[in-house]
Amino acid sequence: MTTIGIIGAGEVGNHIARAAIASGYRVVIVNSRGTETLAKMIEELGPHAQAGTSAEAAAAGDIVVVAVPMKLINDMPEKELAGKVVIDTNNYMPWRDGQYPTIDRGEITEHEIRQAQLPASKIVKAFTHIQAPRILLWAKVSGSADRVALAASSNFPEAIKLVTNLYDQFGFDAVDNSPLSESWRTRPGQPAWRQERHTRAELEANLARAHRNTRR
């Protein structure tokens, strides 16, 4: 059984855990307050879920998801994440995360910052422009005419391949919006980020319509 380590047990971490278990994965999930505070969630998720520390989730995960707001991302277990695909669900929200002038000036994206923090990992931005509960609500079988498409950005083709497969298992089409320097196209405020059901063609059009200076 493939294991997904999920660092962050909030809205996104919890819903990705549910979708992963429904798709046949095992999950190790983590919050900031300790395993005992996750007992109820683990009970709800069932026997294929366990709580752990960030280092344990990173070590156990064949794939690891980091579903933690940007201002809190500096203490990730770098050694245990080395060599792995790390799915970063983070949306840069200055009102919450503080202002990052280099991002604001368009010199770097938040996900390139994450890649620099975890240089031995393969960062992929994914699951950022869908409201978390809709990961379960909007899932459709492959080939449905109105199947929702989600973007993925990475500097590593193998990470895009892995997320494309995961999206498909969860019930979504994938659009490759690589590399990480292009990931601003799905940022809050951009057409692709709006909470609508984008088909693949609509998402591709909205990625092309993205504007550098969109204010959040």
Q: Which stretch binds ligand NAP (CB under 6 A): 20-28, 62-70, 141-149, 151-159?
A: 62-70
- Give the closest residue to 28 by CA, choosing from 38, 89, 40, 82: 38
- Give the closest residue to 16 by CA, choosing from 120, 145, 163, 155: 163
Q: Is 186 a binder of ligand NAP (CB under 6 A)?
A: no
Q: Is 11 a binder of ligand NAP (CB under 6 A)?
A: yes
Question: From CA 48, how far away is CA 187, in angstroms rounded?
Answer: 33
Placement of tokens 């962050």 in the chain = 8
Residues 123-152, interacting with ligand NAP (CB under 6 A): 127-128, 131-132
Of residues 157 and 216, the one with the C-beta less far from ligand NAP: 216
Q: Is 28 a binder of ligand NAP (CB under 6 A)?
A: no
Question: From CA 211, how far away is CA 191, in angstroms rounded?
Answer: 9
Of residues 35 and 145, the one with the C-beta less far from ligand NAP: 35
Q: Return the structure tokens found at 72.
A: 């809190």
Q: Where does this chain bind ligand NAP (CB under 6 A)?
A: 7-13, 30-33, 54, 67-70, 72, 75, 89-91, 93, 127-128, 131-132
